[in-house]
Amino acid sequence: MSTAVIATALVVGGTGASASGLTAQTTVQTTAAPALAPPVLVPAVTAAGSDLPTTAGLQRALAQLTQDKALGTLNFAVTDGGTGKLLLGSGEGTPATPASTTKLATSVAALSLLPGDTRIATRVVAGATPADITLVGGGDPTLSGLPLAQIRIAGAPVDAESAPASLTELAQQTAAALKASGVTAVNLGYDGSLFTGPAAHKYNDGTNIGPMSALMVDEGRNDPTQDIEAPVRVADPAAQAAGRFADLLGAQGVKVNGKPAEATAAPGAAQLAQVQSPTLSRLVERLLTNSDNTLAEAVARQVAIAAHQPVSYDGAAAAVTQQLTKLGIPMAGVQLNDGSGLNVKNVIPPLVLSDLLALAASPEHPQLRPVLTGLPIGSFSGTLLSRFTAAQGSAGGAGIVRAKTGSLSGVNTLAGTVVDADGRLLVFALMTKTPANADTARAAMDRIVTALAACGCK
């Protein structure tokens, strides 16, 4: 990591007007910042000196592994987590396709610009008459219409901190407010206008990501209970959310006249009800652990709102780039076009990925700690659940390696942290482009990281 990265203080910005005319305060709720959490994953040794792995030692340990033909073209960097010093690399400054390791950039930008306890609100506001109401999306794709007991995130039930906002609760609040005013039949409008630009990702396949809207329920899945990596998505997530909300209002004794209609809420409209997402810190952990493309794009748009950029794919990418530059991350050679990494034209050098992780590990930046706690754990969680196994020759990394994965056609990446045999935190970024089978390439990368964990490499 460059000296500038280590020395630059976090830039924490406020909220401001979005491109749609709504203010971020209407969609993003914050509370007083909590006391800073103690550092986690702090290396046992933090000062530079003879205890550092040597370049020669690392070369001896990794040379044969990095020459595995399954890796094709491999660009990589291994740095010291305590000092940011580059220990070993090849093409470490060369821009390469990051795939989903792009989410590291999105996450660092979000947590450095917005408080970690930020929550995204979905609201219902009054319209022109007592019988007119509008459901307003604030950009929370995790809003759920399922009963709490049915909600699963990557197969696991949710707890109090990870539970998404409830569309049912929003309907209950709305019905109570309407009935208190003697209203039992309404005209329902729905407003997803906070997001601008094309709804579809340039590389949208309708499963890994669907159309983006500021108003979504259950991430726009056609079947909300389909808790799989690439579910079928609906073509109009805002209309889906509004239709589900109308049904829930009906269950509360409030009739919706006709079909919900697209509308734009009036600025300053009286609020009837509101629910809030989990905190930004929890959202970042979720998007990293499970490589959630839809959530990554939504978080990138919250960066755009706070940075006064258009709330679109392009605006979000520009906002993330702007924020990382302010943090001192060396952005030469970096090109971002989205927040998830699905765009094949994204490029990031391995050394920049290692800089992002070293920044998150630094005791000076505890706000970024969810970037580390959100990383999947080898053979244990998220996208590393089935990796670092004996069959792949990498069982030594099980439970030790924490890393973000990335995968596109012919591209496999892995960037994360590992504690070596001497208790030193090492940061690594491996980026491959290869015609080899993806599982074969990933196994070869995992063996490199396992060797890092096993050696002091003096």
Following DSSP, what letter does each residue of 194-209 receive, concatenated? TS-S-SS-TT--SSSS
State the burial class of residue 69 (Cβ atoms within 10 Å of its Cβ: 0-12, 13-18, 19+): exposed
Active-site entry in 18, 103, 340, 354: 103
Residue type, 194: L
Active-site entry in 18, 112, 144, 291: 291
Distance CA(90)–CA(430), nearest Å, equals: 10
Region of residue 218 (phi > 0: left; psi between -120 and 50: alpha; otherwise: beta): left
Nearest C-alpha neighbor of 443 from the set 381, 379, 380, 347: 379
What is the rounded radius of gyration, in angstroms, for the C-alpha atoms of the chain? 23
> Residue 189: helix, strand or coil by DSSP?
strand
Active site residue 100: yes
Active site residue 20: no
SS3 content of the chain, % helix, strand, coil (to 5): 35, 20, 50
Q: Which token pair is 292?
A: 């959630």
E-state strands within 299-370: none
Q: Which residues contact 401 (CB under 8 A, 6 or more apart)?
A: 377, 378, 384, 388, 416, 417, 418, 446, 449, 450, 453
Nearest C-alpha neighbor of 102 from the set 365, 404, 314: 404
> Hey, which residues does 435 pair with through a beta bridge?
none
First to last CA, the chain: 21
Distance CA(410)–CA(391), nearest Å, equals: 23
Q: Which token pair is 226?
A: 């389909």
127 close to 189: Cβ distance less than 8 angstroms: yes
Distance CA(80)–CA(238), nearest Å, equals: 46
CA-to-CA dists, residue 359 to 283, 287, 443, angstroms: 19, 19, 27
Active site residue 291: yes
Q: What is the three-state SS of 346-360?
A: CEECHHHHHHHHHHH
Distance CA(171)–CA(301), nearest Å, equals: 26
Active-site entry in 100, 144, 213, 379: 100
Which residues are tagged catalytic?
Answer: 100, 103, 291
